[in-house]
Structure 1
Amino acid sequence: MRRNILITGCSSGIGRHCALTLAKRQDWRVFASARKTEDVEKLQKDGLSDALQLDLDSPTSIHSAMETVLAQTGGCLDALFNNGAYGQPGAVEDLSRDALRAQFESNVFGTQELTNTAIAIMRKDGGGRIIQNSSVLGFVCLKYRGAYNASKYALEALSDTMRLELAGTNIHIALIEPGPIVSAFRQNAATHFHRQIDTDTSAHHDAYVRMQEAWSKGASMPFALEPKAVYKNLLHALNARRPKLRYRVTIPTIAFWYLKRLLPCAWLDNILTRV
């Protein structure tokens, strides 16, 4: 029998690749979700017939999507891959309360509400898998990524806490921590940057100019991998008898994981400032 998985953020990048690739297997039924109706329709045209709309900013949308999944699976959900998120660039001093709230609504609050709903189902069924797509920025910080850094730190903290609270339930929590992955993430981040940040009056104006020039040129990201690198780890987290607690993807993630534990904070700050 096929197991059922719900994946968020499937309009592009990691979510889209993982949903399409996993759906080709015989052992998983994939419910791929996206925020926009047109993206859902595109997923359905590409063969993901169970694609559905799910907006993490909307509690109504979250619960409606889950009800749709349960109605089609007879009340069963074996796995949840929390991939949906976006990045809000900008110096911390330039972030309004609204900008921070919007970042957390999608990346933390909506994700956790969906996760709590999934946990209730998995408790009833005697187990399940919850895979969190975090980031290298879930344990180290880069400048001008403060809102995103904070949201991923929060995701990691909630995941670690849930793992302790769910001990003995056969509900496994795993974190995937990618470094740079080739996707539309940067283009989406640029959209949120222009929407939320007043560059003209900022003390960081010159840095913002350089950031926007890099975006416009489509500057490559060193060590970036294709989404299939994440899929490989997702598959292990879903199928292994004992999934890893953390999957570190790309050289920067692995390197910074060790550097954070070996270097004094001031030394690590000096490296991160130059990134």
Structure 2
Amino acid sequence: MKKTILITGCSSGIGYCAAKTLHNHGYRVFATARRPASVEMLLNEGLESFQLDLADSNSINLAFKSVMRLTNGELYAVFNNGAYGLPGAIEDLSREALRGQFETNVFGWQELTNLILPVMRKQGYGRIIQNSSVLGFVSLPFRGAYNATKYAIEGLSDTMRLELTGSNIFVSLIEPGPIESRFRENAVKMLLKYVDVEKSIHHERYHKVLKRLHTKGPAVPFTLPPEAVLRRVIHALEAKKPHPRYYVTFPTFLFGTLKRFLSTRALDALLAKSGGDH
């Protein structure tokens, strides 16, 4: 019998790569996306797909019920991946902007996971894989909203892992640095939607940020393809004892090490130079 996995955010990048590859490796994949056009694309490529908008509780419930109906109430794994980035200085972000970022990147993930957990408890096994980020444990300027959501995911995941001790349900965090995707393209849209760039005290920095976000191809060093994340996802799915955390890309290993050995002040000085303009 095929192992089943529900993946969110499959329109491109990491989610798309995971859905296609795991399907080809014999998993029964439920590839979800927010936009109907993305769902149609996935269906045309031979995947089982339906709409799931992480900012909409009704959409989450409908997607969950669809999976349960198709699997007779069982699910081996969920890969929470769907998210977006909202660049901007903290002082420029409204309550509405922050709420939207959390609705998709945190609340939607946890609502979906909480629907799935009783199913996994009943069947006696399961894998919950959370696509976090290097920005889940270090902060960069002008990434505050996204940083906060990933810090939240890290805290929720660590707590779930403790609460699920002995249940045969494993929680793993994937922590990538820069990965090839449409992330920057979507980030530009969100920045321009919520921030009046020209009226901000940071307008000169924003123009540098926008230049970086508009760059074609890798905008920063050490960018890897989504397959680098997929390798960790496969280990988290198939290892007898999956790791609680999986680092991906050189920056994640670098900052993970520096955070252990540098003082907060020294790390701040380094991170302040690493973000915003580059």
Between 119-128 and 210-219, the greater mean CA deviation after superposition: 210-219
AA in 1 matched with 2:130: Q
Instruction: State the distance in 2 between where 1:260 and 1:29 align.
Output: 39
- Report the equivalent of 1:14: 14
Letter in 2 for 1:76: E
Q: Is the 8 A contact 2:33 2:52 kept in 1?
A: yes
Aligned partners of 2:24 and 2:7: how far apart in 1? Answer: 15
Aligned to 1:5: 5
Q: Larger deviation: 172-181 or 118-127?
A: 118-127
2:89–2:144: 8 Å Cα contact kept in structure 1? yes
User: How far apart in 1 are the matches of 2:80 and 2:211?
Assistant: 32
Partner of 2:61: 63
Partners of 1:250 and 1:235 lie apart in 2 by 16
CA distance in 2, matches of 1:84, 1:217: 23
TM-score normalised to structure 2 length: 0.97
**Amino acid of the structure 2 residue aligned with 1:4:** T
Q: Quick one: distance in 2 between partners of 1:80 and 1:88?
A: 24
Deviation at 1:213, TM superposition (A): 2.0
User: Partner residue of 1:157?
Assistant: 155
Alignment of 1:195-214 (within 5 A): 195-214=193-212
**Which runs of structure 2 are paired with 1:72-151 in the superposition (5 Å)?**
72-151=70-149
3-state SS, counterpart of residue 32 of structure 1: strand
Report the equivalent of 2:41.
42
- Structure 1 unaligned blocks of 5 or more: none
Give distance in 2, aligned partners of 1:215 and 1:264: 30
CA–CA distance in 2 between the matches of 1:215 and 1:166?
A: 39
Deviation at residue 212 of structure 1 after TM alignment: 1.4
User: What's the % identity of the aligned pairs?
Assistant: 55
Counterpart for residue 226 of structure 2 = 227
For 2:237, the equivalent position in structure 1 comes to 238
Question: Quick one: which of 183, 186, 198 aligns to 2:184?
Answer: 186
SS in 2 for 1:51: strand
Change in CA separation of 1:133 and 1:217 when aligned onto 2, cut-off 3 Å: closer
Alignment partner of 2:6: what SS? strand
Determine helix, strand or coil for the equivalent of 1:175: strand
Q: How far off its partner does 1:215 sit?
A: 2.5
State the secondary structure of the residue aligned to 1:85.
Answer: coil
TM-score by length of 1: 0.98
Displacement of 1:136 in angstroms is: 0.1
Q: Which segment drifts farther, 39-48 or 240-249? A: 39-48
Question: 2:187·2:213 contact (CA, 8 Å) conserved in 1?
Answer: no
Residue segments in structure 2 that go unaligned for 5+ positions in a row: none
Moved more, 216-225 or 96-105: 216-225
**1:79-126 superposed Cα distances (whole Å, 9 cap, x missing partner):** 000001100100000000000000000000011000101111101111
Farther-moved stretch of structure 1 (146-155 vs 200-209): 200-209
For the aligned residues, what is the CA RMSD?
0.8
Please point out which of 155, 167, 175 is paired with 2:173.
175
Structure 1 ranges of 4+ moved more than 6 A: none
